[in-house]
Amino acid sequence: MTKRSPFVLAALASAAAPALSVVAVNEARDVPESGLRRAIDTSLLLDADGNEYDIAVAQTPAAGKILHKRALAAKLLDRNEATRGLKVRFEQEVASADVDSSPVSLFRHIDAEPLALADLTIAQCTSLGTAIASIHLLDPAFLVDAGYPRFTAEEIRSDLAAWAQRLPDSPEVPGAIAERWQQLVTIDALWSFEPVTLHGDFRDNDVVFRDDSVAGVRHWENIQVSDPARDFAWAYEDWFGDDQRDALLSAYGRMMGSRMDARIVPRARLWRQMDIVRDLLQALKTADRAWIRAAHERVDRLATLLTPVIPVTSKSTSDEAVKEASATITVGNLLADVNSDSVVDVDDSTNARLPEHTPSTEKPLSDKTGYVRLDDIAGGHDTAAPSETPPEPDDSATTIILKNSTPTQAPPEPPVSEDTHGR
């Protein structure tokens, strides 16, 4: 899938937000994405007042759906007074539009470093655990009032049971997995928790850091009220170390105090397991052979690890069953009915909220790392998009200077019934 050049991204940004005066573009510092997120092109924009923005442009309808939900969630979080009191910043949507049939969204840039979750230091894991707890402690009423779903423990349990019943109809999923889930739903001890406000699907680039501290949390397309364990499924991937996981959960537990969920670990492992299967089902909808092959390998490897769950006959065997369940059991909204598309649209009155022309508190343009002033370059680039395939960005974050270029705006695409899980 060919990435758009930074020239094109900047032109699309100007079309989506005509009042934005783009003077320079940098390559995004994000680490490589996977799944459906690969179909979202990103770049870093700079305006004449020295303000920085993240631009995201979808290449496919499924990726466009992700951006739409991401923008709605950003508006909602920005309006919630409780989030403004947190030390961690959330992304703020500036403008969204369909331009030349491409969904485009602009967000305020958080000046921090996006990292791969596997590379987090112990100190960063500690900071992230505290940040996740601060999210889980937010009163979820603002989400419910906006039309977002609230999933109870019993609803999730019931949906998992229904999904496990349907899986044997899929020849791609080994029967041992469905059998295991059918047994897990019988363990009452696993299904006693209070739904909380969730990010919903932590991945690489979602958390940005300044040194050892979380500076911001981005990409809220899967925000919902549900099982707190879902925000820890990624921590049980093979690439995440035991020391990292201990630091993450210890910090989370200290912040949650008496509200800490005693069964969060085995359910996080279960969500991870479901995520592995969902990844395969999502891959099968595409023509991406490499993705399908990798997903098949993960599912087959998972199936070989599963063993029967110990029957629950008493409190002691219930605890033993939960402990055993946690030994083999990733996040995503994996149940077909859990990630609802019935979210009430947030009022667009705040759309295209560009900064007014007041003295900027941002760094001067000359102080922006990697940016070059337009008047420092003789001639500049031609405004037309290059016809050749743009080269892959290198590590030097080369700045590209732009002139004004505004494509015509196309009517919005109709909604599509595609999963938005970022796969």
Which position has the token pair 């996006």? 114
For the ranges 207-211, 255-259, 354-358, the lowest mean pLDDT is seen at 354-358
Higher pLDDT, 409 or 122: 122
Question: Looking at this protein, which amino acid is placed at residue 157?
Answer: R
pLDDT at 5: 87
Q: How confident is the model at residue 307 (pLDDT cuts 50, 70, 90)?
A: low
Q: What percent of the chain has pLDDT over 70?
A: 72
Q: What percent of the chain has pLDDT over 90?
A: 59
Mean pLDDT of 235-246: 96
- Gap between the Cα atoms of 327 and 108, Å rounded: 41
Q: How confident is the model at residue 371 (pLDDT cuts 50, 70, 90)?
A: low
Higher pLDDT, 166 or 126: 126
- Gap between the Cα atoms of 417 and 224, Å rounded: 19
pLDDT at 219: 97
Which two structure tokens, joined as six digits, stand for 117?
Answer: 């979750």
In the predicted structure, residue 374 carries a pLDDT above the cut 50: no
223-232 confidence digits (pLDDT tens)? 999 999 999 9
pLDDT at 36: 86
User: Contact 324/189 with Cβ under 8 angstroms?
Assistant: no
pLDDT at 167: 86
Higher pLDDT, 356 or 150: 150
Mean pLDDT of 289-314: 77
pLDDT at 207: 98
Q: What is the pTM of this model?
A: 0.76
Mean pLDDT of 64-70: 96
Please report, for residues 125, 178, 336, 337, the alpha-carbon distance to residue 175 in angstroms, rounded to integers and kept in the order given. Answer: 36, 5, 19, 22
In the predicted structure, residue 421 carries a pLDDT above the cut 70: no
Among residues 214, 208, 249, the alpha carbon closest in space to that of 228 is found at 249
pLDDT at 46: 94
Mean pLDDT of 49-75: 96
Mean pLDDT of 363-367: 49
pLDDT at 336: 32
Higher pLDDT, 203 or 404: 203
Among residues 30, 49, 2, 5, the alpha carbon closest in space to that of 359 is found at 49
Q: Report residue 58: phi and psi, to 5°.
A: -85, 140
Q: What is the set of domains in the chain, with CATH numbers?
A: 6-111+345-401 (3.30.200.20)
Mean pLDDT of 88-95: 95
pLDDT at 21: 92
pLDDT at 375: 41
174-193 confidence digits (pLDDT tens)? 988 989 899 999 999 999 99
pLDDT at 235: 97
156-168 confidence digits (pLDDT tens)? 999 999 998 888 8
- Gap between the Cα atoms of 8 and 29, Å rounded: 18
